[in-house]
Structure 1
Amino acid sequence: MTDLPDTDARIERQPLLDAILTRLRDMIIEGALPPGTRLNEGQIGQQLGVSRTPLREAIKYLASEGLVELVPARGAVVKQFGAREVRDMLEVIRMLEQQAGLIACAQASDAGIAQVRALHDRMLDCYQRRDRLAYYKLNQAIHSAIVALADNGALSEVHSRLQTRLKRIRFIGHEGPERWAHAVAEHEAIIAALEARDADGLSAILGRHLTQAWERVRDDLPQT
């Protein structure tokens, strides 16, 4: 019987790749790697203390997510989205979340809704502490959780793909105390409608929320 190959290195490598991916995503979200920035593997590898091989894998994965694009003669570049692209993606996300909200109010379990409430409460705690990145991640987790309550794999897949591409865009939508406070108020209304199983109310609130998301970022985007 042939011995299985030693897989220890492969097992250890995956957490490293995940850690690099998380750090690079955060750097893109927070603007440490602004749109249009070329990803210099040597410089970033030195900054993160990792070799080029897992870093290169992480960059390829980010390209598959749409956060990075591979440009001939330039290499990997942080994706720059124009206003038209962002508007179109937010419009699709709006329709997906409104549909998910209708379904969730009709069929989600009480336990499932309670899990969304728990995420919401954690998000509010981050808001009180002004931990913006942690707040943002929980904010996006809430949107994904509401979509997941619809129990439609195709809907969740498309939503996840678009939401990933808009990570930086959605983050800048919370810049400034007034914008941030308004986004929190919208989320308070979302969770109240979900807990009340007010399908029409939740759909309307989600629609306004995504429309406001566009209005908060449109002037900051290249008009292409």
Structure 2
Amino acid sequence: MGSSLAITNRSLHDQVVSKVRDLIIEGTLEPGSRIDEARLIDELGVSRTPFREALRTLAAEGLVIVRPSKGSIVRKLTPDDVFSMLEVLGNLEKLAGELACERASDPEISALIELHNRMMECYRTGERLPYYKLNQEFHARLAELSKNETLVEMQANIQARLKRIRYIGNQKPDSWSGAVADHEDMVRALKDRDGPRLGESMASHLKKTWDRVKDSI
């Protein structure tokens, strides 16, 4: 069994989901490719049942297509898919930014700024996957600070399906530095509780994300 992927402790289901999701995000499992169940089951050191349950979870997230008797494949998004999702996500996060500045408590805002600072440390040390995961958490938690459950649910649904796309948006050094600059703008607006400015910054960030990823889809 491959030691680098071996599963330990945490909920078996959650760990298998997390490992396979990371392989998709990083492109080890390429969009449109068939998932080699036997090989991954061996490398992860798990049995077939938890592995297939993990695939069903990833299918619900929109990352995998489970095809009965034909094997599962990694979902491949078209440029139109990605553009339309980013368009909606940009407007959701614009609203989230506006509402968060009105509704979040001071400790909630402080916690989000602390998360941002941890992201910046990962950027400084060049750790792309940890940065990416904190970045995903930042956007999810900002949505939660809107205190609007419908918005949170919709944001999470679209963000889940765009995981690989958002990751490749930071592949080029200038793209990554541009995304970091966007986040610095967001945090300045958040500190000032300037909802309109934070909202515009969120929307602009998602528009720039399309520019960063469109040639890689």
TM interval, shorter chain, is over 0.9
Deviation at 1:72, TM superposition (A): 5.7
Q: Deviations over 1:36-66 (max 9, x none)?
A: 1111211110111111111011011111111
Normalised to the residue count of structure 1, the TM-score between the two structures is 0.90
Residue matched to 2:147:
151
Amino acid at match of 2:86: L
Q: 8 Å contact 1:38–1:74 — kept in the other structure?
A: no
Q: Separation in 2 of the partners of 1:184 and 1:164?
A: 21
Amino acid at match of 1:56: R
Residue matched to 2:16:
20
Residue matched to 1:173:
169
Alpha carbons of structure 1 residues 208 and 57: separation in structure 2 relative to 1, 3 Å: same
Residue matched to 1:32:
28
Deviation larger for 164-173 or 38-47: 38-47
Report matched runs for 1:137-148 at 5 Å. 137-148=133-144
Q: Separation in 2 of the partners of 1:73 and 1:91?
A: 36
Stretches of structure 1 that go unaligned for 5 or more consecutive residues are 1-11
Q: Separation in 2 of the partners of 1:25 and 1:32?
A: 10
Amino acid at match of 2:80: R
Residue matched to 2:59:
63
Deviation larger for 67-76 or 26-35: 67-76
Alpha carbons of structure 1 residues 45 and 72: separation in structure 2 relative to 1, 3 Å: closer
Give the percent of matched residue pairs that are identical in Structure 1 and Structure 2: 44
Deviation at 1:95, TM superposition (A): 0.7
Q: Report the RMSD for the aligned CA atoms in angstroms.
A: 1.5
Residue matched to 1:9:
none
Residue matched to 1:105:
101
Deviation at 1:180, TM superposition (A): 0.6
Deviation at 1:14, TM superposition (A): 7.7
Normalised to the residue count of structure 2, the TM-score between the two structures is 0.93
The answer to whether residue 185 in structure 2 is matched with residue 210 in structure 1 is no
Q: Separation in 2 of the partners of 1:74 and 1:169?
A: 26
Deviation at 1:70, TM superposition (A): 2.0
Stretches of structure 2 that go unaligned for 5 or more consecutive residues are 1-7
Deviation at 1:71, TM superposition (A): 3.3
Equivalenced residues, count? 210
